[in-house]
Amino acid sequence: MSSNEARAAVEAVWRSESARIVGALARYTGDFPLAEDLAQEALAEALVSWSVNGAPAEPVGWLLTAGRRRAVDTFRRRAALDNKYALLARDLTEEEPGVDALFNPQAIDDDVLALMFISCHPMVSREARIALTLRVVGGMTTEEIAKAFLVPVPTIQARITRAKKTLAAARVPFAVPEADQIPERLGSVLNVLYLIFTEGAYASGGENWMRTELASEARRLARVLVRVAPVPEAFGLLALMELTAARFPARLNAAGQPILLEDQDRRRWDQSAIRRGRAALSTAAGSGRGLGAYGLQASIAECHAVAYSVEDTDWDRIVVLYEALGRLTPSPIIDLNRAVAVSMASGPAAGLGLVDELAARGELKGSHLLPAVKGELLSRLGRHEEASEAFHRALELCSNGAERLALERKIRDLQTRKRQ
Q: Is pTM beyond 0.85 here?
A: no
Give DSSP secondary structure letters for 150-218.
T--HHHHHHHHHHHHHHHHHTT--SSPPPTTTHHHHHHHHHHHHHHHHHHHHS-SSBS-S--HHHHHHH
Q: Which amino acid is it at 182?
A: I
pLDDT at position 199 is: 82
How many CB atoms sit inside 10 A of residue 111's CB?
25
**Arithmetic mean of pLDDT over the chain:** 85
How many CB atoms sit inside 10 A of residue 36's CB?
25
CA distance linking residue 309 with residue 187, whole number of Å: 35
At CB < 8 A and 24+ separation, what contacts does 194-197 make? 194/218, 194/237, 194/240, 194/294, 195/126, 195/130, 196/130, 196/133, 196/134, 196/221, 197/222, 197/240, 197/241, 197/244
Please say whether the beta carbons of 59 and 22 come within 8 A: no
The pLDDT tens digits for 149-159 are: 768 899 999 99
Please say whether the beta carbons of 264 and 320 come within 8 A: no
The pLDDT tens digits for 174-216 are: 877 777 777 777 888 898 889 889 888 887 666 677 788 888 8
HSE toward the beta carbon, residue 235, CA cutoff 13 A:
17
Sequence-ordered list of residues with C-beta below 8 angstroms from that of 322, at least 6 positions apart, any chain: 300, 334, 337, 338, 341
pLDDT at position 181 is: 74
Q: With a cut of 70, which residues of the chain have pLDDT below it?
A: 77-109, 148, 150, 204-207, 418-420
Taking CA atoms, 415 is separated from 273, 367, 375, 408, 410, in Å, by 39, 24, 13, 11, 9
Three-class secondary structure of residue 3 per DSSP: helix
Q: Which amino acid is it at 409?
A: R
Please say whether the beta carbons of 193 and 238 come within 8 A: no
pLDDT at position 359 is: 92
Supply the angle between the helices 142-149 and 182-201 in degrees, to the nearest 10.
70
The pLDDT tens digits for 49-92 are: 998 888 888 888 899 889 988 887 777 766 555 555 555 544 54
pLDDT at position 282 is: 96
